[in-house]
Amino acid sequence: MAKAKTASSKLKPIKGLRVLLSNDDGINAPGLKTLEKIARTISDDVWIVAPEQEQSGASHSLSLHDPLRMRKVSKQKFAVKGTPTDCVLMAVNHIFKDQKKPDLLLSGVNRHGNLAEDVTYSGTIAAAMEGLLAGIPSVAMSQLLTRPHPCKWATAEAHAPALLRKLVDGGWPSNVLININFPDVVAEKVTGVEVCKLGHRDLGDMFVDERVDAREQLYYWIGYRQVMSPPAPKTDLAVMDAGGISVTPLHINLTHQPTMAKLTKLLA
């Protein structure tokens, strides 16, 4: 596991780098404030287009049956009454319609990790995915939270700038987005950075909680049970357990190539 480097006051913004920020926790989320601090260590040209309200679990959904409404919060900062995907679409196709497109999209910093199967539900990942589809190099970032502990935003803020600088300098394929998770430890206790694959949670990890309201009508909450079994090595779940920062490249092409060959023979 490579040793993580914390942010340095000596880091200077990259000249000409335009950065777009979004999230799924909403325009007033503390993680978005953290993300803006991180972004300003690498860019002087930072734009924010985020949901008006929390959209956690929205995945890659679009608002197809309702009009979108957008308000200008301040210079280069906008709130959209819609999903994270809507926000990126509004930025690319409306706000930046007649000007330079962003060079980098940062999504987050999500409150809670986006690990293992979480990525299929995540609005944080979806914003980065939409950025990828628009031809923008995109990174999703999340800060792991273990209740009842407070969220350690300072960990992401300390380690993200140097990590992003390396990623931007090195680049990555245009059909890949980068998913980064910061562990639930103070910045000084981070054990390092590890490039790893997605893990796999226990079966039955999700649950539906049935309750009764004041009018004796049933209603339900969907939630997660805490994973108890040890995670497989070299996965994002294992890296979190070890107090490291996980970096996982995600590919948008979901085709399973080995099964393609088998099905070709079977259905010939």
Task: Please report whether residue 222 resides in a domain.
Answer: no
Q: Region 88-93: what's the mean pLDDT?
A: 96
Task: Please report whether residue 212 resides in a domain.
Answer: no
d(CA 140, CA 106): 6
CATH number at residue 53: 3.40.1210.10
CA distances (Å), 138 to each of 154, 165, 167, in order? 22, 13, 10
Residue 232 corresponds to which amino acid?
A
Task: Please report whether residue 226 resides in a domain.
Answer: no
Q: Supply the Cα-derived Rg of the chain in whole angstroms.
A: 19
In three-state secondary structure terms, 56 is: coil
CA dihedral (36, 38, 40, 41) in degrees, to 10, reads 170
Task: Please report whether residue 151 resides in a domain.
Answer: yes
- Full residue range of the structural domain in which residue 151 is found: 18-201+231-266
Task: Please report whether residue 219 resides in a domain.
Answer: no
Instruction: Return the minimum-mean-pLDDT range out of 52-66, 143-157, 244-258.
Output: 52-66
Instruction: Give me the number of domains the chain comprises.
Output: 1
Task: Please report whether residue 52 resides in a domain.
Answer: yes
Task: Please report whether residue 155 resides in a domain.
Answer: yes
Tell me which residue has tokens 């950065």: 19
Q: Region 148-166: what's the mean pLDDT?
A: 96
Mean pLDDT score across all residues of the chain: 92
d(CA 164, CA 162): 6
Dump pLDDT digits (tens) for 24-43.
999 999 999 999 999 999 99
What is the per-residue pLDDT for 9?
Answer: 53
